[in-house]
Each structure stands twice: as C-alpha cells, then as structure tokens.
C-alpha cells in the first residue's frame, strides 16, 4: 500500500512539474518567440536542462503540447457554447453573443504563446506531428459562433443576407487577437471584447448609408485614384537585391521574422549565405528595407483620403477600401506588419511610428464623426475607441480573396459601417 501511495505521489509531482514547465515555456515563447531555447526554459524553471528531458524530449514536443492544449480549450468552449445555446431564451441571444466574445478573448489570453505559434508555417525540418497540429483550424469554435449567429438571425436580432460563416470567422479572429502584441498592454483592454462585438455587429454609423452613397464620396474617389496608381514592380537597379527583398518578404510573411534565417533566405534566392550578408548587412537591415516602401505606400495612400472633402464616416469607409487593396497587393508586407503588432519583433525604424500615426488618424476621425453625430462608438476613452476600431479597418487576406476585394468591402460595410444587427 505504501509503495502504491509512493508511486502515486511521484506521478503527481511529475505531472505538476510538467505543467510548470509548460506554463514557463508559454511565458517565454510569448515574449521571445521560437528563438527561446530549452536551456532558457530549464533556467526559468530552476532545473538542469538534463532534468527537463525527463518530461519533454525536445522543444518541438513542448510546442506541440502547448498548441494541443490551446486547441482543446477552444473545442471545449465550442461544446459549451452549443450546449448553452440550446437553453438560451430568444431575448438573451444578444447578451449571449457578447459573452461568447469575452470567452473567446479569454481563451486566447490563457493560450497566448500557442496562438502566436499557430500563425506561421512550422520551421524547416519540423516533425510531422508539429506540422499536423499547426495546420489544425479553429473550425469547432467558428461553427459554434455560426450557430449563435443563426439563432440571432432566427429571432430577428441579426439581419438576413449576412454571410454568417464569414462573420463568424471575422468575429473569432478579432477576439483572439485582443490577447496579442501591443493590444494586450492597452489600458482598459478588458473592455475590448464588448466594444469590438458592438462595432462588428452594430456598426459605427448612426444612419445606414447605401453603397451608392459611399461609392461616390470624395474620399472614395481619392482612394480609388491611389489604388489605381500602384505598381508592384521593384525599382532596385541591382537585380540580386530586388530578388532578396522579394524572397525575404515571402519568408518573413510565411515563417515569421524569428524563425527565418539568412540561410533560409539565401537558399530560396539561390545565393550563398556570404553573398546575402554582403548585399544586406544583417537580417534587421533587410527587414527594415523590405518594410520602408510598404510603410510609405500606406502613408501616402491614407493621406489623400484624409484630406478629401468628405465626412469622417466616408473617410473611414474609403480607408477600408485602401486597406483591402493593400492586403490584396502587398500581402507579404502586410503579414510582416501584422507580426509586429502580434509579437513586437525587432523594431524597424518606421513600423512603430507608422502604426502610432495611423492610430491617431483613426482617433481623430472618430472624434470628428462623433461630434457631428454621424458615428457612434462606445468606450471609456478616445484612445480605447480608436483601438477597438483599428483592426476592424484591416480585412484579413482570407476574406479579401474570397471571392474578391469588392466583396470584402461589401462585407465590411454590412458589419463595421452599417452593422449586422437589424435596426
């Protein structure tokens, strides 16, 4: 009997130590990304690296378990959502929808490291198991969200004609992203799930402008002129440098900055590692060079829209069209910028300043629109209101290309501008 008790106690201690290692690794991965080493994990746990191998045989094994834990939490939330939905009275569907927003955001907050690790393709040489778990999607929670929206549509809470699958995808994504990068440090971030839910479902316009009205605004005319002026041709005289920039955009956007090595870039470009270093100096310099033109493109595209003879609402609508086309035409650079927002990787000379400037633009438009009575966004402070809207002005690549940018604008107008709620 004592032997069994002793074995049970040892097993319990092993499980506790394993959980401690996972929690510690999650904190390190969330702050330092994939460059975190097993030695750093062991040091943070106060154990020798050799002792860590008693619980996990590799860094990949830790990553696989963290992602698996995150997926399981999301799946449990999906099951709970469906069970509660079956017992939810019709008049509580709006309240239940807001609760779901908070729960998805909370799940992401508890699994921030795993969420970050699922955004990129696994590094070269990754195990089949890591490739499998990284490619798993959040279909269960999106299906549960669709069911919630369908119930809302049946009770008259949501308008007919809204693509519920796309709305569920967008809803889940913006709630999950609240836990990431710069967003998690915003004072009052706990209010963001409620605020983003109200924006996505209720819209920001006090009235409901038609597509025809928005299409002929001075802001949209300016936006279309900018988009039509773009060209994707490289201007570099040195073809090898142009090739390196193109390859680096792909690799940084696909794998993330931390997981991409100069060797990866050199191999993809068909150059030697030494040649790459001679051309670019360092990975940081290459990232900075890749992003300079992108930052300039966004800044010069927003400028004529902001200066146009149009209302704040019309300008926000036109900025969404600019952003949709940015994602369509410069998807690699957009993904790199998105990674900066998620993780804050090496700070290029312009990404941080550019983001802050665009956020101030949104805050200014919101203030002017609310004073004029044409915009309505709830929130404790002007900064928090701008934060709550900013990401919703950027439509993800999957929606931009399904089926095309114009459809993405229509979806954005039916949600962010006019709102999906029946008025």
d(CA 250, CA 245): 9
10, pLDDT greater than 70: no
More confidently predicted of 383 and 315: 315
215, pLDDT greater than 50: yes
Classify 256 as helix, strand or coil: coil
Give the pLDDT mean for 7-11.
62
57 φ/ψ angles, rounded to the nearest 5 degrees: -85, -5
Q: How many residues in the chain? A: 423
Q: Are 286 and 248 in contact (CB under 8 A)?
A: yes
Quick one: which H or E segment has residue 211? helix 211-215
Find all residues with CB under 8 Å of 303, minimum gap 6, and list them: none
pLDDT recorded at residue 165: 95
More confidently predicted of 303 and 180: 303
32, pLDDT greater than 80: no
Q: Shortest CA distance to 389 belongs to which of 412, 422, 421?
A: 412
Predicted confidence band of residue 186 (pLDDT cuts 50, 70, 90): low
Q: Which of 291-295, 369-373, 412-416 has the lowest mean pLDDT?
A: 291-295
How many Cα atoms sit within 13 Å of 39 on the Cβ side? 1
Query: pLDDT tens, 86-110?
Result: 999 999 999 999 999 999 999 998 8
Beta bridge partner(s), residue 421 = 158
Quick one: which H or E segment has residue 170? helix 164-176
57 Ramachandran zone, left/alpha/beta (phi>0; psi -120 to 50)? alpha
pLDDT, the chain, mean: 86
| Contacts for 166-169: CB closer than 8 Å, 24+ residues apart | 166/399, 166/402, 166/411, 167/200, 167/411, 167/415, 167/420, 168/142, 168/143, 169/142, 169/398, 169/399
Look up the pTM and report it. Answer: 0.85
Share of the chain above pLDDT 90, in %: 48
Q: Are 292 and 350 in contact (CB under 8 A)?
A: yes
pLDDT recorded at residue 14: 79
CATH topology of domain 1-57: Arc Repressor Mutant, subunit A (1.10.10)
Find all residues with CB under 8 Å of 304, minimum gap 6, and list them: 222, 223, 225, 226
Specify the CATH number for 206-417; select among 3.40.190.10, 3.40.50.300, 1.10.357.10, 3.30.565.10.
1.10.357.10
- Same fold flag, 66-179 and 206-417: yes
Degrees, nearest 5: CA angle 405-409-414: 145
Predicted confidence band of residue 154 (pLDDT cuts 50, 70, 90): very high
| Contacts for 116-120: CB closer than 8 Å, 24+ residues apart | 116/29, 116/30, 116/33, 116/180, 116/342, 116/343, 117/29, 117/34, 117/63, 117/66, 117/67, 118/67, 118/70, 119/256, 119/339, 119/342, 120/254, 120/255, 120/256, 120/259
pLDDT recorded at residue 401: 92
What residue ranges do the domains of the chain occupy? Answer: 1-57, 66-179, 206-417
243 φ/ψ angles, rounded to the nearest 5 degrees: -65, -45
pLDDT recorded at residue 1: 47
Q: Shortest CA distance to 399 belongs to which of 388, 389, 408?
A: 408
Share of the chain above pLDDT 70, in %: 88
111, pLDDT greater than 70: yes
Classify 82 as helix, strand or coil: helix
pLDDT recorded at residue 287: 78
| CATH placement of domain 66-179 | 1.10.357
Q: Is the preceding peptide bond at 403 cis, omega within 30 degrees of 0? A: yes
For the four alpha carbons of 56, 62, 66 and 67, in that order, the dihedral sign comes to negative
Q: What is the DSSP letter of 217?
A: S
pLDDT recorded at residue 346: 43
| Structure tokens given for 237 | 């005289």
Query: pLDDT tens, 216-274?
Result: 999 999 999 999 998 644 444 467 777 887 888 888 777 777 778 888 888 888 888 88
Give the pLDDT mean for 267-287.
83
pLDDT recorded at residue 190: 86
214, pLDDT greater than 60: yes
More confidently predicted of 125 and 62: 62
More confidently predicted of 184 and 323: 323
d(CA 80, CA 85): 8
| Structure tokens given for 413 | 């107008």
Rg (CA), the chain: 23
Query: pLDDT tens, 350-408?
Result: 566 788 899 999 999 999 999 999 999 988 889 889 988 998 999 999 999 988 999 99
Classify 377 as helix, strand or coil: coil
d(CA 292, CA 198): 35
pLDDT recorded at residue 112: 86
């Amino acid at each position: 009997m004592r032997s069994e008790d002793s074995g049970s106690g040892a097993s319990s201690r092993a499980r506790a130590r394993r959980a401690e290692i996972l929690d510690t690794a999650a904190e390190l991965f969330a702050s330092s990304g994939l460059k975190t080493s097993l030695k750093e994990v062991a040091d943070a746990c106060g154990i020798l690296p050799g002792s860590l191998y008693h619980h996990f045989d590799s860094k990949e094994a830790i990553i696989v378990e963290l992602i698996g834990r995150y997926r399981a939490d999301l799946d449990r939330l999906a099951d709970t959502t469906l069970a509660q939905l079956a017992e939810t009275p019709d008049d509580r569907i709006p309240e239940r929808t807001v609760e779901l927003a908070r729960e998805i955001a909370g799940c992401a907050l508890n699994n921030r490291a795993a969420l970050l690790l699922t955004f990129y393709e696994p590094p070269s040489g990754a195990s089949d198991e890591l490739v499998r778990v990284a490619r798993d999607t959040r279909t269960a929670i999106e299906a549960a969200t669709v069911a919630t929206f369908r119930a809302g549509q049946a009770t008259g809470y949501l308008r007919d004609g809204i693509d519920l699958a796309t709305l569920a995808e967008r809803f889940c994504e913006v709630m999950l992203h609240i836990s990431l990068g710069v967003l998690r440090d915003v004072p009052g971030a706990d209010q963001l799930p409620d605020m983003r839910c109200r924006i996505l479902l209720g819209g920001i316009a006090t009235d409901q402008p038609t597509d025809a009205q928005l299409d002929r605004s001075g802001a949209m005319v300016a936006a279309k002129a900018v988009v039509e002026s773009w060209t994707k041709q490289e201007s570099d005289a040195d073809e090898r440098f142009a090739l390196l920039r193109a390859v680096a955009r792909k690799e940084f956007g696909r794998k993330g900055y931390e997981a991409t090595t100069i060797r990866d870039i050199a191999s993809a470009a068909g150059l030697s590692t030494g040649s790459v270093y001679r051309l670019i100096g360092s990975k940081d310099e290459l990232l900075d060079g890749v992003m300079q033109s992108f930052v300039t493109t966004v800044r010069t595209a927003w400028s004529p829209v902001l200066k146009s003879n149009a209302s704040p609402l019309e300008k926000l609508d036109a900025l969404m069209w600019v952003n949709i086309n940015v994602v369509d035409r410069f998807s690699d650079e957009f993904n790199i910028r998105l990674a900066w927002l998620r993780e804050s990787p090496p700070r290029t000379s312009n990404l941080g300043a550019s983001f802050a400037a665009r956020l101030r633009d949104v805050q200014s438009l919101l203030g002017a629109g609310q004073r004029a009575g044409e915009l309505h966004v709830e929130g404790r402070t002007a900064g928090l209101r701008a934060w709550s809207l900013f990401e919703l002005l950027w439509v993800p690549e999957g929606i931009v290309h399904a089926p095309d940018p114009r459809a993405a604008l229509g979806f954005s107008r039916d949600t962010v501008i006019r709102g999906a709620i029946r008025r």
